[in-house]
Amino acid sequence: MFVLATTTLTKESREYLIRQYPAVEFQFLEDVDQAGARLSEADILLTFGSDLTVAHIKRAKKLKWIMLLSAGMDEMPLQAIKENGIKLTNVRAIHQIPMAEYAISMLLNAYRQNDTLWRNQYAREWDSSLEIKEISNRTMTIVGAGAIGEELARLAKAFRMKTIGVSRSGKPSDNFDQMYQTNEILKGLKEADFVVSILPSTEETLYIYKQEHFKEMKDSAVFLNMGRGDVVQSETLIMALDQNQISHAILDVFEQEPLPKTHPLWQHPKVTMTPHISGVSLHYIPRALELFEKNLKTYLKDGSLVVNLIDLKRGY
Amino acid sequence: MFVLATTTLTKESREYLIRQYPAVEFQFLEDVDQAGARLSEADILLTFGSDLTVAHIKRAKKLKWIMLLSAGMDEMPLQAIKENGIKLTNVRAIHQIPMAEYAISMLLNAYRQNDTLWRNQYAREWDSSLEIKEISNRTMTIVGAGAIGEELARLAKAFRMKTIGVSRSGKPSDNFDQMYQTNEILKGLKEADFVVSILPSTEETLYIYKQEHFKEMKDSAVFLNMGRGDVVQSETLIMALDQNQISHAILDVFEQEPLPKTHPLWQHPKVTMTPHISGVSLHYIPRALELFEKNLKTYLKDGSLVVNLIDLKRGY
């Protein structure tokens, strides 16, 4: 069995895999083009996927399984993979923990005036007269309530929040007190103190938040977007903030990334922005390799893949 | 029944109490000295306690119950209250929610580089290459595991942490995986990623953290103190940071408060400091009045006090 890894892994990870699976041959490269002729010998490919083309798939005659170290499959040659009978697994839900932590952390910061406290530390200013709010017992609406939303809702429940979800199916889900379908989104926004958007970028979600949506929210609502930036136009969002339709926006994703230097969102007084880092985590690669190993163990035993096998007909 | 309130309450709170308890006469003052002769007519006193002297207690001939709007009783004339047969209730555990939120928020900030992200926003710097750690799945040791520690441990468990407590009794407690007695504190510190100190100021806790304690902690440990400042000398703590015995300190309390402008802790690169605000909350007075009302209702009915009645012999 020959595993070709076409992405940078730490020395520690590489040595661990070699030690742990003596029956497997590993080759570790930085991208798929370094593989040359060896691509045609690979049984298993470990990849981030963005450098993989139809031509690579055609050359990989022995390939039976691609382990994708990413959750998004937009850039993958899915049709060619399907036609060549190659199985595909990914790292779905790998962003759950860091993104749920991001949301809780940023909402706590917004409610607890941590930016002012920070500035005061740098200025050696002892001011304990700040108004500090609690996120506990508030209402959180999660729009795009998938795997990440479920983890966030679980934490929100620990903070004794009421949790409302908006999802395509509208089906009840653990840790959600209420669930709406996407076409009922306005109902879900009405009572939220926190609106957390984790929507992907699709035709249906493009500019889904319009003026009427922000008008429907509480004046005191905090809007947090860590899904995709094209769910709302910057102008719409800035107007909602300037007209006090909501109180604050926390943005990790933007219509254009990196956000242009002159964009008004950078220094809008009601905006906290971060550079698309909500899913960044030191634990990403170890966690991805853990998922790989779960499948590798069963694959070596009986050829089965038990975790995150993609149905190539449906595409997810 | 005459209730004398000798602390500033909002108009809303005052009107609410008057409306809700028509059988009760309320007088709202800013401090106890404004009360004059009316002090001797009060059946119930609502106070923050810090302005209350033995002389006041002696003059309050009819007083049966003091509702203390604070959790700490260090400044109360407890002996005189006991001798005059006055019952005392307080707002024990009122700091649970804000202090638990404070700890989670500050630990998330330390692990997620939120200060760098903030500086980058102000500088319009798009840098997504930061190393971001997760607080999930870490080990938290809570030294002084009382009511606040229990709430914090409950949240820590939601973040899938291992939780270790250190308390006087060392008795097992919900949401703690392990519990040590105070004299076993070193054992509790060894494996902690986060050491959270919520110890009160007593003879036993004075400078309880010595060099050996920080040496026992992981190099990567974050030490958070939101109990009292005199559990550790600043010099000891700064040495531990400078010698890399721990990686970061988050301090809300200090040996001297406000911290003097020239103190090295203000701008130590490994210190995040806040001005004794971990317990500050917009919900404080509403929550305190809720506790007062619970007791007032039973007191009006049958003279009983059901919540947070202090045993004046034990002093807590």
Higher pLDDT, A18 or B74: A18
Looking at CA atoms only, how far is residue B31 from chain A in angstroms?
Answer: 20
CA distances from A179 to A165, A175, A199 (A): 5, 10, 15
Those residues of chain B that have pLDDT short of 70 are none
**In which band, very low, low, confident or very high, does the pLDDT at A205 lie, cut at 50, 70 and 90?**
very high
Residue A93 has pLDDT above 90, yes or no: no
DSSP codes, B190-215: TT-SEEEE-----TTTTT---HHHHH
Using DSSP, state whether A139 is helix, strand or coil.
strand
Q: What is the rounded average pLDDT for all residues in chain A?
A: 95
**In which band, very low, low, confident or very high, does the pLDDT at A316 lie, cut at 50, 70 and 90?**
confident
Chain B residues whose beta carbon lies within 8 Å of the beta carbon of residue A114: 105-106, 109, 114
Nearest to A105 among B112, B121, B272 (CB): B112
Residue A288 has pLDDT above 90, yes or no: yes
Return the residue of A nearest to B128 by Cα. Answer: A275
- Do B128 and A275 make contact, defined as CB atoms within 8 angstroms? yes
What pLDDT does residue B8 have?
85
- Do A130 and B261 make contact, defined as CB atoms within 8 angstroms? no
Nearest to B101 among A120, A136, A257 (CB): A136
Beta-bridge partners for B141: B164, B195
Residue A124 has pLDDT above 90, yes or no: yes
Structural domains in chain B, CATH included, are 2-94+282-302 (3.40.50.720), 96-273 (3.40.50.720)
What is the largest distance, in Å, between two alpha-carbon atoms of chain A? Answer: 69
Q: In angstroms, rounded to a whole number, what is the distance separating the alpha carbons of residues B196 and B176?
A: 14
Q: In angstroms, rounded to a whole number, what is the distance separating the alpha carbons of residues A291 and A305?
A: 10
What pLDDT does residue B87 have?
97
| CA atoms within 13 Å, Cβ hemisphere of A288 | 24
> In A, residues 129-148, which contact B (CB 8 Å cutoff)?
130-136
- Do B155 and A158 make contact, defined as CB atoms within 8 angstroms? yes
Q: In angstroms, rounded to a whole number, what is the distance separating the alpha carbons of residues A313 and B150?
A: 49
In B27-68, alpha helices (H): 54-59
Q: In angstroms, rounded to a whole number, what is the distance separating the alpha carbons of residues A106 and A96?
A: 16
Residue A315 has pLDDT above 80, yes or no: no
- Do B134 and A276 make contact, defined as CB atoms within 8 angstroms? no
Chain A residues whose beta carbon lies within 8 Å of the beta carbon of residue B98: 132, 134
> In B, residues 248-307, which contact A (CB 8 Å cutoff)?
257-259, 261, 266-267, 272-277, 280-283
Q: Does B174 touch chain A (CB under 8 A)?
A: no
What pLDDT does residue A296 have?
97
**B231 close to B205: Cβ distance less than 8 angstroms:** yes
Helix (H) or strand (E) holding B294: helix B284-302
What pLDDT does residue B71 have?
81
What pLDDT does residue B119 have?
95
Q: In angstroms, rounded to a whole number, what is the distance separating the alpha carbons of residues B151 and B149?
A: 5
The tokens describing B314, both together, are: 């034990």
In chain A, alpha helices (H): 11-20, 54-59, 78-83, 96-112, 114-122, 147-158, 185-189, 211-216, 234-242, 284-302
Q: In angstroms, rounded to a whole number, what is the distance separating the alpha carbons of residues A243 and A170?
A: 31
Nearest to B97 among A104, A115, A136 (CB): A136
Residue A72 has pLDDT above 80, yes or no: no
Using DSSP, state whether B217 is helix, strand or coil.
coil
**B85 close to B58: Cβ distance less than 8 angstroms:** no
Mutation target vs B (from A134, A270, A273, A285; most B CBs, 10 A cutoff): A134
